[in-house]
Amino acid sequence: MKVNYSNIPKIIIALDFYSKKEAMKLVDLLNPSLFYLKIGKEMFTILGQKFINELHKLGFNIFLDLKFHDIPNTVFYATQAAADLGIWMLSVHASGGKKMLMSAKKALQSFKKRPLLIAVTALTSLKQEDLKDIGIQISLQDYILILAKLSRDCGLDGVVCPGKEAKKIKLLCGNEHKIITPGIRCFNDSAFDQYQIITPKQAKTFPIDYIVVGRSITCSKNPIKKLNFIIQSMQ
C-alpha cells in the first residue's frame, strides 16, 4: 500500500524508555524525514544534551517536552537553554499564566531559527474530578479552551490538547495555531494512565497537526508493524 503522508497528521514518536540502548533499537528503524522524536523528562534526565546531539546527527527533529512551569524569570532562562540545543519544538504549561508564557516567548526573540513554542493545556490523564480537586469549577473542555486562547494571545505557536477539543481550538485560535495531540490508542491498546484518548482513525478526522505516539509503539513486540498499522488506519 502506497502511503500518502501529506494528508494525515504528522507523527511524533515519544521515546519513553529508561535506557539509550532500548531507545536506539527503535530510533534505528525510523526514517528522520518522516518522523519526529519526542524527548521527555525521563530520557532527558537520564541522557541529557548529549543524546539530543546524537539524534540531531542522525537527522531527527526533536520535540523537547519538559513542560516548563515556574516563575517567569526561571522559565525565560530555561527556554533559552532549551533553544540553545537546536531543538525543533519545546513545551511549557499554559497554566503558568500570562506573564510566564510571555517570558518564554520573549526568551526566543534573539534566535534566528527558534523552536516552536507549544503550551500544554490539560494533560490527557485528567478527568473532570481532577479539576475539582485543585479548586477549578468550570468544565474541563472550557478550561482547555481558556488556556488555548491564552496561549494564542501570548503569541505561542500552538497547544498540546486532547484530540476531541481540536476543532473548537482551531475555530477559536485560527488554523495556524498548531495542535499536538497525545493519547493516541489503537482499538485494542491499553489506555494505561491516559483518559482523554482517541484512535488514529479519529485523529485523521480532527484538525490535528501532529499526533504523539508513545506506548502504543514502544510497548509493542513489533513497533514498526504497529507504526505501519497506525499510518494505514489514517489513510
Active site positions, annotated:
65, 67, 70
Q: Say how far apart CA 14 and CA 41 lie, in whole Å.
A: 11
CB-based contact 106:80 (threshold 8 Å): no
Tell me 198's DSSP state. B
Residue list for the binding site: 16, 38, 65-74, 124, 185, 194, 214-215
Residue list for the binding site for substrate: 16, 38, 65-74, 124, 185, 194, 214-215
Query: Which residue, among 37, 46, 84, has the nearest Cα to 65 in the 3D structure?
Result: 37
Q: Say how far apart CA 174 and CA 186 lie, in whole Å.
A: 29
Burial class (CB in 10 A: 0-12, 13-18, 19+), 106: middle
Burial class (CB in 10 A: 0-12, 13-18, 19+), 214: buried
* C-alpha distance from residue 174 to each of 10, 107, 114, 169, 207 (Å): 19, 24, 21, 8, 11
